[in-house]
Amino acid sequence: MIKPQGKQRISKEDMYLNSAENFAYRSTCLKRKYGAVIVKDDAVISTGYNGSPRGFENCCDIGVCPRMQRNMHQGEGYGMCRAIHAEANALLNCSREQTLGADLYLTGINPEDNSIHPDSDFGKHIIPKMLDEGQPMYAWRFDGYWKDVGTIQSYWESNMDLIRTLPEFNLYEDFWKIYTNSDHQPPQYTAPGSKTEEALLSDGCEIYGTVCRSIIGPGVVVEKGAVVKDSIIMAGTIIGENALVDHCVIDEKCSIGKNVQMGVGENIPNEAKPNIYNTGITVLGMNSSVPDGIVMGKNCVIYGRTFPEDYPDGRLESGKAVVREV
């Protein structure tokens, strides 16, 4: 369970992860316990945990798991498993339309001691463990584009791949079209005097400043004199006049004040989560705001509406975070 530090409240993301952990304790599986929470517009719309479908016997009630009886390893004998995944159960409890644009939070715990599963990355933990145990492993050679986006850096890199002149993963291939639902937006607008270079501009965005090597989402406004470089700016965000945004990932509906500088200074890992924020990318959560004139370093994390008093001397040094209620 994620707990607050001192008097500071936990973030909404951590709150939803705590909720998912609580539902994991309802799991009926003897081997793995998972809980899932689906959230949309700051409201929980569905929950679930892994276990048998309604009307079927639960492994925890009969005290027997067919796979455990046969000493099967991960990846073996799933046809014998009675359980449905936690996220699948959560999705079954709501309509497809409800889940569009929603977020899913998933937490797993160890049934033996109720500890959170810390080592669940395929590349770092699961595959090496299987190798150490001598379990059979098989590979399939894939010659197309593939990217693991499990880190901030890899997520940023995969987006930057899209803006190359000849991207390896081409969104415009005639033989493999990609279709998606999108809001009805007016065409993107680039004002006289604005500049765009190696940028992907979504419908409805308005560019009055400069955008270089960046992804700009629907409805984003880059005001006059503002410069956005090597960044991902999601839908509905406003970048104020004469602001500088460099190597940032900014979530939806954020507001960046005038004359703000983001992503400047030394590359110092984040104090709270150095294993996550350590490659120089500054991150803003959904509905966050930064007041006018703030200078912000690298590997910073902003969540929520912030005020001048949150920034001593008008600065946030590299590796620092400000977390406030949205």
CB contact at 8 A, 229 and 262 = no
- pLDDT at residue 63 in the model: 85
d(CA 320, CA 272): 8
d(CA 44, CA 14): 14
- Token pair 């007041």 in the structure block, residue: 291
User: Tens-of-pLDDT digits for all 326 residues of the chain?
Assistant: 777 767 778 888 889 999 999 999 999 888 889 999 999 988 999 999 998 887 888 888 888 888 887 887 766 777 778 788 999 999 998 888 888 889 999 988 887 777 766 666 677 777 888 888 888 888 888 887 888 888 899 999 999 998 887 777 777 777 777 777 777 889 999 999 999 999 999 999 999 999 999 999 999 999 999 999 999 999 999 999 999 999 999 999 999 999 999 999 999 999 988 989 999 999 999 999 999 999 999 999 999 999 999 999 999 999 999 988 65
d(CA 25, CA 16): 15
- pLDDT at residue 118 in the model: 60
- pLDDT at residue 297 in the model: 97
Whole-Å CA distances, 51 to 21, 28, 61, 213, 315: 15, 5, 11, 46, 49
Q: What number of other Cβ atoms are within 10 A of residue 136's Cβ?
A: 8
d(CA 194, CA 182): 26
Amino acid, res. 132: D
Sorted by where each starts, the structural domains of the chain and their CATH numbers stand as: 12-118 (3.40.140.10), 180-326 (2.160.10.10)
- pLDDT at residue 281 in the model: 97
d(CA 207, CA 286): 21
d(CA 229, CA 244): 8
Ramachandran bin of 93, using left for φ above 0, alpha for ψ from -120 to 50, beta for the remaining angles: alpha
Amino acid, res. 279: T
Amino acid, res. 5: Q
